[in-house]
Amino acid sequence: MSTAASVSDEALRVTDAQGNARSPRNDWLFRNLCLSAVLAMMATLIGLVGSLVSGGWMALSHFGFSFFTTSTWDPVADQYGAAGPIVGTLITALLALVFALPIAVGVAVFLVEICPQIIARWLAIAVELLAGIPSIVYGMWGLFVLAPWFAQNVQIPLMTWVTPGSWLEAIVSGVPNGANIFTASLILAVMILPYIAAILRELLMSVPSHMREAAYGLGCTPREVVMRIMLPYVRRSAIGAVMLGLGRALGETMAVTFIIGNSHNFPHSLFDSGSTISSTIANEFTEATGDMHISALIALGTVLFMITFVTIALARLLLGRGGPK
């Protein structure tokens, strides 16, 4: 017994790649190195929140609640009310979701349940790759292709067609240049579409095949299998996926900045130019004139942080660990 112990002692003098003899101290060091990396990341998040609140405090305390309820954004008079950008952010993101969601569901169902699997695999890869294209590309397309086309073929015909004074006219009035809330939402929709579709597809794939097969065995049509078995099965995570897409639309900067028209007024119609929180920050931050202007922009950032944090946190809670990277 004792000889065996001494032999193993000899054999166990392992060294790692750096030539350090193994020792409890060595492990302690590495463990705490890893832990400090984790803490550094958390410090980043705390620093992010802290810097947003402290940077925006001047504007928030000066304007108080009227910062959220008024829409005068006037750097010359140093008067800032953020209702325009805040409402613009919410409207564009929600509209984008309305456009994108039905199509994303359709794509996911088509890829999982209907399309031959050989083609579906390639289409799925294409969809996922498209989800990775930088948003500035979408923004440029919106500015150079969608906006002129939209003004020419949708906006102007609509404006000449509607009867003046009707409610329809109120909805479609605006400068016919294609840069407005509606087209910004369209671009956002195209951008979040592959993103949501990719997550939904993975969710649908995760439905156990015995459930699908049991339903088919009972004589269900594909529609019934999808609507009554598969979608209800992943309902919770699917809502999470949708909210993640919403979070992305809320915080998106470049795709929107190009095309929303950048007016700080409260948007009066669907085709009115507007702004979002992120487009306002992107446009004005480097040219901000005074401390109050900068502070107001950072306060806008704080608002955006709160909106997106709640959305994303809810989404992640619903998605659980299965969420995308």
Partner 1 sequence: MTAPVERYDRLLHLRRKFYNSVFLVLTGIATLIALTALFLILETLVVKGLAGMDSHVFTMSQPAPDEQGGLLNAIVGSLVMCGFGMVIALVVGILAGTWLAEYGDGTRLAAIVRFLNDILISAPSILIGLFVYQLLVRPFHGFSSLAGGVALSLLAMPVATRATEDIMRLQPYALREAGMALGANRGLVIRAIIWRASTSGLMTGALLSFARISGETAPLLFTSLGNPFLSFSLTQPMAALPTTIFQFAMSAYDDWQRLAWAGALLIAAAVLATNILGRALTRGSMQK
Residue from 82, 193, 296, 318 in contact with partner 1 (CB under 8 A): 193
Closest CA to 90 of 243, 208, 246: 246
Residue among 38 and 76 whose Cβ is closer to partner 1: 38
Residues 85-114 binding partner 1 (CB under 8 A) are 102-107, 109-111, 114
Cα-Cα end-to-end distance for the chain: 52
Tell me the three state secondary structure of residue 144: helix
Q: What is d(CA 118, CA 197) in angstroms, rounded to the nearest whole number?
A: 18
What is the phi-psi region of residue 147: left when phi exceeds 0, alpha when psi lies from -120 to 50, beta otherwise? alpha
Answer yes or no whether residue 5 interacts with partner 1 by CB under 8 A: no
Main-chain phi, psi angles of 74, to 5 degrees: -130, 95
**Residue 73 belongs to what H/E stretch?**
strand 73-74
Binding mask 237-266 for partner 1 (x = CB under 8 A): -------x--xx-xxxxx--xx--------
Cβ 120 to partner 1 shortest distance, Å: 10
Nearest distance in Å: CB 128, partner 1: 8
Residue of 14, 76, 77, 118 that binds partner 1 (CB under 8 A): 14
Minimum Å gap between C-beta 243 and partner 1 is 10
Among 1, 4, 5, 40, binds partner 1 (CB under 8 A): 40
Distance of closest approach, residue 133 Cβ to partner 1, in angstroms: 6
Tokens 């007024």, residue located: 265
Between 128 and 167, how does the x/- string for binding to partner 1 read (CB under 8 A)?
A: xxx-xxxxxxxxxx-xxx----------------------
Closest CA to 196 of 118, 116, 102: 102
- Which x/- pattern over 206-235 shows residues binding partner 1 (rule: CB under 8 A)? -------------x-xxxx-xx--------
* Gap between the Cα atoms of 325 and 320, Å rounded: 12
Q: Looking at beta carbons only, is 168 or 313 nearer to partner 1?
A: 313
Structure tokens at 144: 């150079």
